[in-house]
């Protein structure tokens, strides 16, 4: 009997990450323990008005995930299931902050499974400390001059301050 090579678990954590928050970073940290390789994938969505370009978000993410050796950063446009297939991923990782997130994410998970029956979605509950944090809320507070330290990594806070000051 020959030994089977160990299977590699590859997960995709998709999002707009505009900007990345400590809630995202918490999910990345926890998700990196569930997969041999975690790909944080920035969605290129022309319908959304973004504060940061895709390249800027990828650059910030690449810097803040540096402590996680099995995490890489990419970007995609189009259907997530196509990106999952192209990257050879086993599952999609998503975070849930509240019931409203669950209802939306459940619809997306079912659609993804319909489009690609082998694609599974794994939900992680947001850590209590970040259950209210969203990129939109962080941008709004920062644009009004509020303090967002503790809600985003310091590097992101610097970029936010310089961007909203313009």
Task: Provide the annotated active-site residues.
Answer: 24, 48, 97, 135
Find the DSSP H helices in 45-153.
54-64, 80-86, 99-115, 135-143
Q: Is 152 helix (H, G, I), strand (E, B) or coil?
A: strand
**How many Å apart are CA 66 and CA 51, to the nearest integer?**
23
Which distant-in-sequence residues (6+ apart) come within 8 Å of 70 by Cβ? 32, 35, 36, 37, 38
Q: What residues form DSSP beta bridges with 41? A: 14, 74
Which distant-in-sequence residues (6+ apart) come within 8 Å of 138 by Cβ? 19, 21, 148, 151, 152, 160
Residue 126's CB: how many other CB atoms inside 10 A?
Answer: 18
């Amino acid at each position: 009997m020959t030994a089977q090579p160990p299977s590699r678990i590859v997960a995709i954590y998709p999002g707009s990450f505009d900007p990345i928050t400590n809630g995202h970073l918490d999910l990345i940290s926890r998700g990196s323990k569930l997969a041999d390789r975690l790909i944080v994938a920035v969605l290129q969505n022309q319908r959304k008005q973004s504060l940061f370009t895709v390249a800027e978000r990828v650059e910030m993410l690449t810097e803040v995930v540096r402590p996680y050796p099995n995490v890489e950063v990419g970007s995609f446009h189009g259907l997530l299931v196509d990106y999952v297939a192209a990257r050879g991923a086993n599952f999609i990782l998503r975070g849930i902050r509240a019931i409203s997130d669950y209802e939306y994410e459940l619809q997306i998970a079912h659609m993804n499974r319909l489009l690609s029956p082998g694609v599974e979605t794994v939900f992680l509950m947001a850590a209590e400390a970040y259950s209210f944090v969203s990129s939109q809320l962080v941008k709004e507070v920062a644009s009004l001059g509020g303090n967002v330290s503790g809600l985003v990594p310091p590097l992101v806070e610097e970029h936010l301050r310089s961007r909203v000051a313009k």
